[in-house]
Structures are given as C-alpha cells and as structure tokens.
Structure 1
C-alpha cells in the first residue's frame, strides 16, 4: 500500500488530501482545510506565506505516515529569494495593482504578435513576465537582491525540503516559456532584461525533487489546472474540459501549440500539460463572481448559502441581462453585484436588482461565455467537441452545468469534484511506480469516481440570447 499527501492551494482556501492506493483501489480523505487569507503589507496585496507553511505542517502532522507529498497552486505568482535563499518579502498576489500599465510598456519592447508566437500565452497583466517588469520598475532594491525566482508550488517544496527546481506546467503560465520547446525563450528574456539564471533548473511533472522525514517530495503538475486535467476521466479525442473554480479554464488537449495571430486575438493560451500534451485553453473569470458576490452580501448583512443562491437564481426571470465575466470591471475584489448592475446599465440592458436576478445574470453569462470559448477553440483546432468535462468545484453547481449543456448544445459530464487533488495524487502514484502513466490514472478515475451527466435540452431561447450576448461582447 502507498500513502500520498496532496496539498491543493486555491486562491481562497487550501486543503491536504491523504490518499491510499492498494491493489488497484484508491481511497482518499481530507485531513486538513484552511483559509488562504492574503493581506495588504508593505504597499502590496500579498500572500501570507508563513501562515500557509504553518498549515502545511499542520496537514503533515494530521496525515501521519506517508510515502510522498506534492503541491499544486494557482498560476503566475512567485517568490523572490536572495543569495542566502531568504524570501525577499511575501509573494505578491496576482490581483495587486502593481501591473497596471505594464502590458502596454512591454509592447514597446516586443510587440504582441512576437510575444505570443514565442510563448503561446494569453497576454494578461497578471502573468509573471509583467509582474517582473513591475518589480524592475517599482522596486529596484528587491530586483537587485533577487537571485532566484520560485513559482508558488516550487516555493512550498523549497521551504519544506530545500528543493531548487522549476516545474514545467507552472512555468508555462509565466509568458516566458517557449511553447514549442518547453525551454525558456531567450528572445523574451533578453528583450525584458531578465537573466535566465534567475530560474531554477526545470523538471517535468512527476519528478522526485527531495525528501522530507523519509517521504519523497514530488513536483506534481504545479499548476492546479493541469492537475485537474490529469484527472479527466478517460476523455475521447474530441473532448473539451472546463476546470471550474475561482477561475474557469476551458480548453482541449493538443499535440502541438497553436501560435497564430488569430489565436492571440481570441485570447487563447498554450500551457504544458502533465502528460506532455499542450493544453490549449481560454482563461475566463469563473466562480469568483459568485464567491465575491456572496462576500459582498455578507458585508451588507445578508448571509446566503450557495444552495440558497441557486434557488433564488432559479426563481428569477431567465435570459434577461448579461455581462462579460472578463470585463476588467470584475477583476478587483469588492461590490460585484453593484458592478453587474453598472455593466448592464452601461450596455442598455435591464438592470438586475434582486439577489436572484444578479445570480441568474452571472450564471447565464458564464454559460454563454463558455459557449463563446468553445466556438473559438473549435475554429482554431478544427475539432467538433463531443462532450465537455467540468472538473473541480464547479461540478457541484448543477444549475451552471445544466445551463452550459443547454447553451453549448453538447453533453456535460460533471466531475470529479476533487479533480485537482486527484490529479496531484495520480501524478505522485505514477512517480512512485504504482501507475504506469497518466492514461492509466484517468482510467482509474473513470471507473471509480462518481460523475453526473447533463444532456443538452432545447436550445432555441439560448440561441436568441447568444446573438444578444455576442453583440454585447463586440461593443
């Protein structure tokens, strides 16, 4: 029997999942859950790394004996270390305002088509490249002292066992990795005066990078999306995936990247997958809209469970008004319901006033944006998607899954809910020699994990709404 411990860090919470695997049978349980509470410090919005590491040690203590441990996190963020290996301040949150205007400044050094052709990454201000430009410009002292950059999952491994590595899937969120070769793109680094020696040696997902108290520390797919996709239950060649949590990442697997201007203009991204494939995907603001709305209502003295919010949405009039989830208006924390009203007012739509109307607007808008992204992916790849696998926390949202199936006109398979942790676990089991490869892990998931299927229903009303929605997106 093998026991593996998976740490899955999200933008708002983290957990430790202990799994046991014996004779083809996998069981797992959550042994520790904790909040991830970024805060303002030294003029920036930062992750509390000491608190997160304290929770890592609590999770380890609660787990007892295990054979290996692995970390996955959100993408793009990092810590900078000095020559003594000391962290130069808590890692800055991707939602910090320091990257405002950095994309425009970067385009003066390398135009958008050249940068996209080099890296295949959707050009977003949150990406590591633009964060580093902000450090160069705004914090020369830190930049001068920095000797090593470690992405968040690699930083956790370093803090635990001293590992000094850069796992490939997390590096591919940086806007600096070459989409064709999987190496650092030197033209990009030279254009932005970023020394290649700042980065640790690259390793593939599934590499043992150290030990902690006799257990192997394994660099799993550091980017949580790639862990979730690794646990996609036995997909066919024309399957699409939607890793649905705070962010929605909707995509498909390819053998080679797509680096055309049309792909860039469609804001599609090429990321390295745990199985060596390219995960060709679109980043879409996801359940953040619902999570932050719920927090806003709580701040206003109204407490709702997610089940209550779903019921209120169901009771509201359908297909009345829509938002673009990716409008910059919805990026910062705060009054998301108020911004939904502002967006609808600005675009000449009926303004949602009640909690149910706001929720309905958000859910329908996500379903419509998913259809829009699927059509972009289909045009770029030539694939006609046969099914959409919804992976992660969004698989629990039956209303959103139903709306997505109806709107997109393809079956939705929701689950596993714990796809990210399961992908982390499967990669560790492959590294330990218990499974031959990711494909075998996916077959195991398909045979053992519960999923829910949503067949598409009548699409006529959604087709009319989609015409309106695409008009809103083009404004």
Structure 2
C-alpha cells in the first residue's frame, strides 16, 4: 500500500487529496482539505495570495499527519496554466504572482505583435494567442516595471513555485511550460529567439525537470512545520488539464476529453502539435501531456459564468442552492436566448447578469430576466459552443470524434452533462470528479515505480471509480437550437 497527496489548485478553490494504491491495482481517494482561492487586489492589479495558499497547503498536510502516523510516500502539485512567480537572487518571492484575470496585458499585445507576428508565435509554440498567456504578462510587467526585471533571478511557473517552496529545488515542468507561449515545441525547451526579440535578453527561466520524476524532498523547515520526515516532492504534470486527461480512463483514442471547471478545456491527444492555418484561425492551442505528447484543445468558458451569477445573487441577499439551481433550470423555457460564452463581455465583468442581458440586447434577442432564464441561457450556450469546438476538432484532424469523456468538478452538474450529450448527439461518459487530483497521483506512482506507465494507470482508474453515462435526448430541438446559435456566433465573430 502506498499513499501520496495530490495538491490540486484551481482558479476558484484548492484541495489536498490523499490517494492510496492497493496492490498496484486499486486506487482510493480521500479529500483531506479544501479551501477557496480568489485573486486579491494590490496596487490596482489582481494577484494570487501565495502566503495564504501555502498556509492552506501546510495546514492540509498537518491535518493528515496529525491523525496518520503512516508516512506520505509523495506529494505533487498541479495548478491552472500560464501564471508564474519571480524569485530574487537569494531565492525569495519578489511579490505575489499576477493573476491571469488582470487586464494589464491587453494594451501590450499589439506591441508584442509588432516584434513577433501572431502566426509566427503560434507556429513556434503551438499556443493560441491570448491575453492571459505568460508571454504577454511578462512583457506587461517588465515594461511597466523594468526594476523588477533587474531583480528577477529565477522564473518559476506556478506549480513549480509551490514545489520550490516545499523542496527548495528550482525547476520547471513540461506541461505547464507548454502553456506559456515561450516554449518551443520542436526543441522542447524555452524559445531563446522569441525571448531575445521581446526582452532584448534571455530571461532566467529555470530549466525543465522530467515529468513523472522525483524532484527532491521536503526541506527541514517544512518537515518541522508539519512534524514529518522528509517527503519526496514529485514533478507531476504541473498543468491541471494535463493531470485531468491523465485521470480520465478514455478507451477510444479518438474520443474527445472535456476537463470541466471554471474553464472547460476540450480536445484530443495528438503525438505532435497541429499548427495548420485552420487550427490557428479557430483558436486552438497545443499543450503538453503526462507522457510527452500534446493536447490539441480549445480553452472555453466553463462554470465561471454560473459562479459569477450566483455570487452576484448572494451579494444581493438572494442566494440559491444547487437544488434550487436544478429546479430553476427544469422550469425555465428552453432555447429562449443565447450568448457566445467566450465573448469579451464575460471575461471579468462588474455584473455577469447585466453582461448577459447586454449581449442578448446587442444581438436582438429576448433578455433573460429571471434566475431560471439566466441559468438556462448559460447552460445551453455553453454546450452549443462545445459542439462548435468538437466539429472544428474533427475538421482540423480529419478524424471522427465518436464520443466524449468529461471529468472534473463540473460534471457534478448533471444538466451540463446531459445537455452536452444532447447538443453533441454523442454518448458522454463522465468521471472521475477529481480527475486532476487522480492524474496527479498516478504520475506520482509512476515516479515512485509502483505503476509502469500511464496506460497501466488508466486501467487502475477504470477499475477504481464509477462513471456516469449520458445518452442524447430531444435531438431535433437541439439541432434547431444549434442553427440559431450558429447564426449568433457568425454575426459576432465567435465562429470562423
């Protein structure tokens, strides 16, 4: 029996999950600790509160160790993509990392593209041009604050920063590096040409350490804080979507995956990035997997829209439970109005409900007024956009996607799963809920020598967790809805 802890940080909450492997054939997971995670305002910008996050991580480790004398065999960290930390010469974090939701990058994108064409960036890195990417964050930060560039001795992507705080080892990891748009997929290393053209020098990115390997061991300071012996710190796939894919027992290699949370990442696994004209025009990206392959995927809006509406209602003293949400969805009239969930209106508005109304008004549709109408509009629009993405995947890969596998916390929303099946006219398998944490754990067991490879790991997952299966319903109604939705997309540049 082996026990590892997956530190799985999302953009809205974090969790520590204990994974226990029995006889190299059965996996069980237990949640040890869960905590919220939201960016904080500092000097007019959004940052992640690393002190708070690390405090909660150590709290979770202590919670387990206080009641369990059995040693932890490993700890691994995964997070959302693109964000990073800057370290000084003496290894101190210079300041809390910027959040990708800060809009300071928008105004520098044209300046970056004057130095490096968008298409060249895509062809060298395989990554979709997006204001949230590390490349634009670093450019905006160092342009506004050149003194910070002079103080920066090391740049660590976010999961590697947390691993460094645990182990004292400065290194980066492939899957997370692949999200930065500063990583050359052909050479599988930092793209010195891009960096030099943009910054006039090389940046001090830490080198990459192999995925699925032991990075180091918890420092003596950490051991004293959590009252533990030294714990192996494992270099798991740093990007949570790479972990989620590793944690989904997908049986058909042509099936699409959907990692469902604040964002919904939709794609298929490919051996090498696809950087064709169509993938570029459709806004696809290519990011790394646990076994060194790539995910051809599109980053889509997910539960963020629902989360923000519910937060807004709660602030107004009118909160709803998950049960309320289901009832409201069930009672609302279907296909009344649609939005493009990925429109700029919905990135970080002051009021999500008002942004939805404004989009519907702009597109000459009925504005959703009641909570049920708002929720129905969001759910239907999300899954219709997911159908658009699946159709484009089939087009650029010239491959039929026979089914879809959904994983992550978002699959607890049964309406999202059923509507996805309806909109796509495909069987949808859903599970596990904690796909990212499970993929994180599988990587650790590979590093520790308990599992041979990811194929064996997925077989263990299949034998350890129940999956839900959804079958398409009301096909003609959804077909008609997609026709209407597609017209709205094409009129508002949401379709190509």
TM norm structure 1 = 0.98
Q: Deviations over 1:389-411 (max 9, x none)?
A: 01101211111111111111111
The alignment status of 1:192 with 2:198, answered yes or no, reads: yes
Partner SS, residue 283 of structure 1: strand
Report the Cα offset of residue 197 of structure 1: 5.0
Greater alpha carbon shift after TM alignment, 264-273 vs 306-315: 306-315
In the alignment, the residues of structure 1 paired with residue 210 and residue 363 of structure 2 have an alpha-carbon distance, to the nearest angstrom, of 46
**Partner of residue 143 from structure 2, selected from 118, 124, 137:** 137
In the alignment, the residues of structure 2 paired with residue 56 and residue 226 of structure 1 have an alpha-carbon distance, to the nearest angstrom, of 21
| 8 Å Cα contact 1:371-1:407 kept in structure 2 | yes
Report the Cα offset of residue 333 of structure 1: 4.9
| 8 Å Cα contact 1:292-1:334 kept in structure 2 | no
In the alignment, the residues of structure 1 paired with residue 323 and residue 119 of structure 2 have an alpha-carbon distance, to the nearest angstrom, of 44
Paired position in structure 1 for 2:221: none
The alignment status of 1:451 with 2:452, answered yes or no, reads: no
**Partner of residue 275 from structure 1, selected from 291, 296, 309:** 291
Report the Cα offset of residue 234 of structure 1: 3.7
Paired position in structure 1 for 2:27: 26
Paired position in structure 1 for 2:46: 45
Paired position in structure 1 for 2:121: 115
Paired position in structure 2 for 1:351: 367
| 8 Å Cα contact 1:227-1:274 kept in structure 2 | yes
Paired position in structure 2 for 1:258: 274
| 8 Å Cα contact 1:292-1:333 kept in structure 2 | no
Greater alpha carbon shift after TM alignment, 156-165 vs 455-464: 455-464
In the alignment, the residues of structure 2 paired with residue 398 and residue 75 of structure 1 have an alpha-carbon distance, to the nearest angstrom, of 26
Report the Cα offset of residue 210 of structure 1: 0.8
| 8 Å Cα contact 2:27-2:461 kept in structure 1 | no
Q: Deviations over 1:352-411 (max 9, x none)?
A: 100000000000001100000001111011111111001101211111111111111111
Paired position in structure 2 for 1:158: 164
Greater alpha carbon shift after TM alignment, 278-287 vs 101-110: 101-110
Task: For 1:364-375, list aligned pairs within 5 A.
Answer: 364-375=380-391
The alignment status of 1:55 with 2:56, answered yes or no, reads: yes
Partner SS, residue 415 of structure 2: helix
**Partner of residue 389 from structure 1, selected from 392, 405, 409:** 405
In the alignment, the residues of structure 2 paired with residue 392 and residue 68 of structure 1 have an alpha-carbon distance, to the nearest angstrom, of 22
In the alignment, the residues of structure 1 paired with residue 326 and residue 353 of structure 2 have an alpha-carbon distance, to the nearest angstrom, of 15
In the alignment, the residues of structure 1 paired with residue 200 and residue 181 of structure 2 have an alpha-carbon distance, to the nearest angstrom, of 12
Q: Deviations over 1:434-466 (max 9, x none)?
A: 111111111111112111101112321212211
Partner SS, residue 443 of structure 1: helix
Partner SS, residue 5 of structure 1: strand
The alignment status of 1:425 with 2:445, answered yes or no, reads: no
Report the Cα offset of residue 43 of structure 1: 2.7
**Partner of residue 304 from structure 1, selected from 298, 320, 323:** 320
In the alignment, the residues of structure 2 paired with residue 197 and residue 90 of structure 1 have an alpha-carbon distance, to the nearest angstrom, of 19
| 8 Å Cα contact 1:238-1:383 kept in structure 2 | yes
| 8 Å Cα contact 1:396-1:414 kept in structure 2 | no
- The 1:195–1:69 alpha-carbon spacing in structure 2 relative to 1, beyond 3 Å, is farther
Partner SS, residue 27 of structure 2: strand
**Partner of residue 237 from structure 1, selected from 253, 273, 279:** 253
| 8 Å Cα contact 1:184-1:196 kept in structure 2 | no
| 8 Å Cα contact 2:139-2:199 kept in structure 1 | no
| 8 Å Cα contact 2:26-2:463 kept in structure 1 | no
| 8 Å Cα contact 2:250-2:405 kept in structure 1 | no
Report the Cα offset of residue 20 of structure 1: 1.4
| 8 Å Cα contact 2:28-2:464 kept in structure 1 | no
| 8 Å Cα contact 1:234-1:439 kept in structure 2 | no
Report the Cα offset of residue 104 of structure 1: 1.7
Greater alpha carbon shift after TM alignment, 328-337 vs 116-125: 328-337
In the alignment, the residues of structure 2 paired with residue 318 and residue 234 of structure 1 have an alpha-carbon distance, to the nearest angstrom, of 31
Paired position in structure 1 for 2:451: 435
Q: Unaligned regions of 5+ residues in structure 1, if any?
A: none
Partner SS, residue 308 of structure 1: helix
In the alignment, the residues of structure 1 paired with residue 474 and residue 186 of structure 2 have an alpha-carbon distance, to the nearest angstrom, of 41
Partner SS, residue 423 of structure 1: helix
Report the Cα offset of residue 196 of structure 1: 4.0
| 8 Å Cα contact 1:67-1:214 kept in structure 2 | no
In the alignment, the residues of structure 2 paired with residue 276 and residue 235 of structure 1 have an alpha-carbon distance, to the nearest angstrom, of 19
